[in-house]
Amino acid sequence: MASLLRRGLWGAAILVALLAGTIADNRFHAEVEIVKKVPTTHKVVALTIDDGPHYKTTPELLAVLRKKQVQATLFVLGENAARNPEMITQAVADGHEIANHAYSHKDLTKMTAAQCGEELDKTDQIIARITAKPTLFRPPGGLYNETVLAEARKRGYTTVLWSLDPHDWQRPSVDQVVTTVVQHIAPGSIVLLHDGQYPLPTAAALDILIDQLRSAGYEFVTLSQLLQYYEVRGTGGGRS
């Protein structure tokens, strides 16, 4: 009798846990319009690299990531992807996630809904010809308004910004990039890095900071994997 009762209680507990999971899922979709950081207690982080691919910087970045066995998320521009499709193929073969950064890096907030949609669709089609249709979107410059978010949402995209920005595109020293990232990293961080122009300190910085973060117990995952760590309890985190 006692063991029956215990089993019943366990059943109820599991049911409650399952229901809570369902509610958490719904909340994720309903409330998280933009992801900037993933609230989690796990030491997982995502490296995101914007504006590529570029004939000179992308091979350097991919070589470092391959050497370190790290999978990153590349927010590519449609016009650059069209110019360097073989680099997208290589990135996919290396296990990286390919995401949409619009077509031409223009400010989407200055566009009509139709123009903004076209920027998304053109890039989407170029990527989809090479690999899986992307599910993540980051507006150029991180600039967005209701129209931009609505066009992204209509196409099933999750809009993702970042929580840690070492300004690598402004060409600080390799040490400055490493120090900024290592000092500010936290569980669930989304690190913003760049490709698409030359020279950048980014590849050399990655070579150092990946080892330092691993020594501190961090694990690198793609953005889609990082979103799986989203913990609803607590407030703040990455909501916007």
- Active-site annotation holds for 184: no
**Cβ atoms 200, 194 nearer than 8 A:** yes
Binding region for Zn ion (CB under 5 A) out of 15-23, 46-54, 108-116, 168-176: 46-54
CB of 101: closest distance to Zn ion in angstroms?
A: 6
Q: Which of 54, 101, 105, 194 is catalytic?
A: 194
Q: Write out 167-224 in H/E/C secondary structure.
A: CHHHCCCHHHHHHHHHHHCCCCCEEEEECCCCCCCHHHHHHHHHHHHHHCCCEECCHH
CB atoms within 10 A of CB 3: 7
Site membership for Zn ion, residue 97 (CB under 5 A)? no
Pinpoint the alpha helices (H) of the chain.
2-31, 57-68, 78-83, 85-93, 113-130, 146-154, 174-184, 202-215, 223-227
- Active-site annotation holds for 207: no
Q: x/- contact string, 134-153, with Zn ion (CB under 5 A)? A: ------x-------------
Return the number of the residue (51 or 60) whose C-beta is nearest Zn ion.
51
Among 48, 50, 61, 166, binds Zn ion (CB under 5 A): 50
Give the span between the Cα atoms of 213 and 58, in whole angstroms: 22
Give the span between the Cα atoms of 134 and 100, in whole angstroms: 6
Return the number of the residue (42 or 106) whose C-beta is nearest Zn ion.
106
Return the number of the residue (137 or 218) whose C-beta is nearest Zn ion.
137
Site membership for Zn ion, residue 51 (CB under 5 A)? yes
Identify residues 102-131 at the interface with Zn ion (CB under 5 A). Answer: none
**Active site residue ranges:** 50, 194
Task: Note the residues at the interface with Zn ion (CB under 5 A).
Answer: 50-51, 140
